[in-house]
Structure 1
Amino acid sequence: MEKYGAGSIVISDYDPNWPALFEQERARITNALSSFALAIEHMGSTAIPGLPSKPIIDLLVGVPSLEEAGKRCIAPIEALGYKYLPEYASWLPGEMFFRKGPPGPWTHHIHLMEPSNPRWEAFLVFRDYLRAHPETAMAYASIKRALAASSNDNIAAYRNGKTIFIEETTAKAHAWRAHATDQAARTGVRRC
């Protein structure tokens, strides 16, 4: 069983300081990686206004080459207080994963990958869909709270329990984005 840090999984009410905490960390990572970081996005539940979450700021960091990132990024990111977890590559292919904070509960995660990785788009479309659909975000909150209560400190059970909801919602989100893109193309409106 993969345990969750220093105790039971806790889902906290939304904290309006989470976006500011993300911005602070984005500035630190930008400074550490300079132009090698192509993009840094706030992802995960703390990026969804109003959504209860484990209080961990998830950062999605895009790099031009994962192979090159293995040589250039580990030391600068670890100098910011993160720990690189190479063993996570077995279930997060094409990604380098870092976490920061005491040995649980953690405060920040970095998911470092090439933006061409299909998970990059999946993370962002899921986030954007939940931002635009608060009723779906609240359904997700209910699932997360129930899983946290039943999983105790088994983070794998918690994570796996969310899989079906995330996959189904991501599929809806891709259709939603495609529809919005089609609508914009038909009306001549450019999306940013």
Structure 2
Amino acid sequence: MDAPQGSRRRRRADVTEIELVGGIERRELHLAEHDPAWAGWFADHEARIRGALGDTALAVEHIGSTSVTGLAAKPILDILVTVADITADEDYVDPLVTAGYVLRVREPGHRLVRTEQRDVHVHILETGDPAAIDYLLLRDHLRADHADRRLYEDTKRELVTRDWSDMNAYAYAKTEIIESIKARARARTDASPDPSV
């Protein structure tokens, strides 16, 4: 069982501001049909990340729409890496930069590095962080629930037709539907029989 975040031993206080390296970026958004090659693409980056971080990477997970078979997605791979101490940037940001990734975001509880081509986003969170848990909850629910997978895809298809000032604005626009899907996922998880019984 993970220790509550407040009781963790950290090297220093976490950052309190959002640092967006390179500032706001305008990008053209489009969806691609699910590509089975995305799983292999993830495997390549998982090996690269594990090679750079070793035991510092407590978990490396394929998340986001490219991780869900049958779901159309922006052809951008999202990866979740969990670490023991988010404040110990030198343990994971520096090695990932050396491995060819570029720092994009440093904010409370979260760091993001990406490829220079901007087609792979690596999200770093502390193990046990509710955001990390939610990434996996959403992924697993969308893999299992056809109706919510269709609802999410239809929402994304509508949103990519709009003009967005940057990727963050597009991501924010999906928040309401994502929260409703996660609520159903939690209800479903809570209703599942306890495997220890």
Normalising by structure 1, we get a TM-score of 0.85
SS of the residue 2:155 aligns to? helix
Partner of 2:18: none
Residue type of the alignment partner of 1:84: L
Alpha carbons of structure 1 residues 153 and 15: separation in structure 2 relative to 1, 3 Å? farther
Shift of 1:185: 3.8
Work out the CA distance in 2 between the residues paired with 1:149 and 1:131.
25
Partner of 2:17: none
Q: 1:136 aligns with which of 148, 152, 158?
A: 148
Q: Is the 8 A contact 1:58 1:111 kept in 2?
A: yes
Shift of 1:57: 0.9
Partner of 2:115: 100
Partner of 1:9: 29
Q: Percent identity?
A: 31
Q: Is the 8 A contact 1:62 1:112 kept in 2?
A: yes
Q: 2:104 aligns with which of 85, 89, 95?
A: 85
Q: 1:117 aligns with which of 123, 129, 137?
A: 129
Shift of 1:177: 1.5
Shift of 1:126: 0.5
Q: CA RMSD in A?
A: 1.8
SS of the residue 1:137 aligns to? helix
1:87-124 deviation digits (Å, cap 9, x = unpaired):
x51xxx3011111132xxx2100110112211011110
Paired residues, what number?
175
Residue type of the alignment partner of 2:104: L
Partner of 1:61: 81
Work out the CA distance in 2 between the residues paired with 1:154 and 1:32.
30
Shift of 1:2: 3.9
Uncovered stretches (5+) of structure 1, i.e. residues with no partner = none
Alpha carbons of structure 1 residues 54 and 4: separation in structure 2 relative to 1, 3 Å? farther
1:150-184 deviation digits (Å, cap 9, x = unpaired):
1356323311210100111111111211222xx13
Work out the CA distance in 2 between the residues paired with 1:99 and 1:84.
7
Partner of 2:40: 20
Normalising by structure 2, we get a TM-score of 0.83
Runs of 4+ in 1 over 6 A off after TM superposition: none
1:37-91 deviation digits (Å, cap 9, x = unpaired):
11101100000001111111111001111112x11111211122211124x51xx
